[in-house]
Amino acid sequence: MSANTSARYCVIGGSGAIGSALMKSLSAQRIEAIASTRRQPVDRQNEFYLDLGADLPELSFSARDVVVLTASMTRLAECRLEPELARRVNVDAQVLIAEQAVKKGAFVVFLSTNQVFDGTKSGVGPDEPRSPRSVYGKLKAEAESALSRLGDSVAIVRLSKVVGPHLDLFQRWRRELSRGETIEAFDDLLLAPIAMAKVVAGVELIGLRRLGGVWHLGGSDEISYLQAGRHLACLLGADARLVVSASAAKAGIPVEERPPRVSMAPGNLETAIGVRIGDALEELDIGLGFADWTRTDICSRSGEIIPQAM
Ligand SMILES: NC(=O)c1ccc[n+]([C@@H]2O[C@H](COP(=O)([O-])OP(=O)(O)OC[C@H]3O[C@@H](n4cnc5c(N)ncnc54)[C@H](OP(=O)(O)O)[C@@H]3O)[C@@H](O)[C@H]2O)c1
């Protein structure tokens, strides 16, 4: 499938974390792009109003469009508590928009998740069978099934935890650690980080080159939030003992929302688009803006505390 050099990106959900990063990147490259938003007033020329929970209008797509479906109910608890609305937003609306787009010759990129797997295996590949356990994962898997019936004009891009400046948790941890305060981090909840910059680049390239099929644009290495917190403390020069172990199970996160394994194998991602996914700490460093920092020898690769020589 050849690249569309005069592509226009249509980002559904331009005010979300990934949607806004994508819009910023496209704008910096002077690539034409429009985005949907629910925020009022819609006063910029490259925005239009769209609520995926309401009746959908007919959208005006054309053959040069790359439609990126980023809008979604992304909180697992929200999907669990409001499953009907979540189905409308995360499945029905996605499929309707994709059908409209494909009918006009546009290419569609749908953002999915590692949560379509059951979390019993690390490094799960793009072709392995799905077996979601959370409501969020089940809805994403349902959307994937419907969208894959639209053929080569659709790319399903499964992401793991995207790390960037948007993450409130890491920003709060950073502030608190910098003040010498303790933070609590789950040791029974894993993440397979991937830096936001790589997600944006990957989505742009998959869309531009119209690479249909299933892609794993996610971390192939997993660590606990406790390890991530301790690594952050190391990066900040804070005492890693400020990072106290906590339990997601005891905090009430249901078992199906804390899979024991979360990493994905990238398949032929690097060959296809030249995006290499690093190990968990490398992705964290890039995502959190520490990429240029050289790690000191008090930061172990596993995030364990190594006592600093006095
Ligand atoms: N970030 C990750 O770590 C990650 C990991 C795996 C998969 N993903 C997938 O990647 C996509 C983007 O994630 P994200 O992190 O950018 O999510 P996000 O920051 O939570 O943004 C979600 C976006 O969806 C919009 N939205 C929610 N309900 C809507 C509705 N009823 N109508 C219209 N728009 C609605 C939000 O609009 P408002 O701003 O108006 O609320 C927002 O723009 C999602 O499909 C998510 O499932 C993300």
Residue 57, preceding bond cis, omega within 30 degrees? no
Band (pLDDT 50/70/90 cuts) for residue 4 is low
Residue where a domain terminates, one of 182, 200, 217: 217
In a shared domain, residues 209 and 236: no
What would the pLDDT profile of 89-144 be if each residue is shown by its tens digit?
999 999 999 999 999 999 999 999 999 999 999 999 999 999 999 999 999 999 99
Q: Which of 18, 147, 214, 264 to mutate to test the pocket of ligand 1 (most atoms within 8 A of CB)?
A: 18
Is the C-beta atom of 52 inside 6 A of ligand 1? yes
- Whole-structure pTM value: 0.93
Q: How many structural domains are present in the chain?
A: 2
Whether 35 shows a pLDDT value over 90: the answer reads yes
For 249, the domain range is 168-190+222-265+274-287
Q: Across-strand partners of 108?
A: 67, 154
Could you tell me what percentage of the chain is helix, strand and coil, using 3-state DSSP and rounding each to the nearest 5?
35, 20, 45
Q: Across-strand partners of 49?
A: 37
In a shared domain, residues 88 and 173: no
Distance 308 CA to ligand 1 centre (A): 41
Q: Which of 70, 89, 158, 163 to mutate to test the pocket of ligand 1 (most atoms within 8 A of CB)?
A: 70
Per-residue tokens: 119: 């979390």
Asked if residue 309 is part of any domain, the answer here is no
Distance 69 CA to ligand 1 centre (A): 9
In a shared domain, residues 279 and 207: no
Asked if residue 211 is part of any domain, the answer here is yes
Cβ atoms of residues 243 and 183 within 8 Å = yes
In a shared domain, residues 41 and 155: yes
In a shared domain, residues 116 and 228: no
The stretch 195-222 carries a mean pLDDT of 95
Distance 150 CA to ligand 1 centre (A): 22
The stretch 222-230 carries a mean pLDDT of 98
For residue 69, the number of C-alpha atoms closer than 13 Å in the C-beta half-sphere is 34
Asked if residue 3 is part of any domain, the answer here is no
In a shared domain, residues 27 and 81: yes
Whether 202 shows a pLDDT value over 50: the answer reads yes
Distance 225 CA to ligand 1 centre (A): 22
Is the C-beta atom of 153 inside 6 A of ligand 1? no
**How far apart, in Å, are the Cα atoms of 127 and each of 118, 158, 264, 276, 284?**
14, 12, 11, 19, 27
Dihedral sign, CA of 234, 240, 244, 245? Answer: positive
Distance 236 CA to ligand 1 centre (A): 29
Cβ atoms of residues 35 and 70 within 8 Å = no
In a shared domain, residues 54 and 76: yes
Asked if residue 295 is part of any domain, the answer here is no
Is the C-beta atom of 162 inside 6 A of ligand 1? yes
In a shared domain, residues 181 and 71: no
In a shared domain, residues 102 and 172: no
CATH of the domain at 154: 3.40.50.720
Mean pLDDT of the chain: 91
Residue where a domain terminates, one of 217, 233, 253: 217
Per-residue model confidence (pLDDT) at position 291: 75
In a shared domain, residues 123 and 211: yes
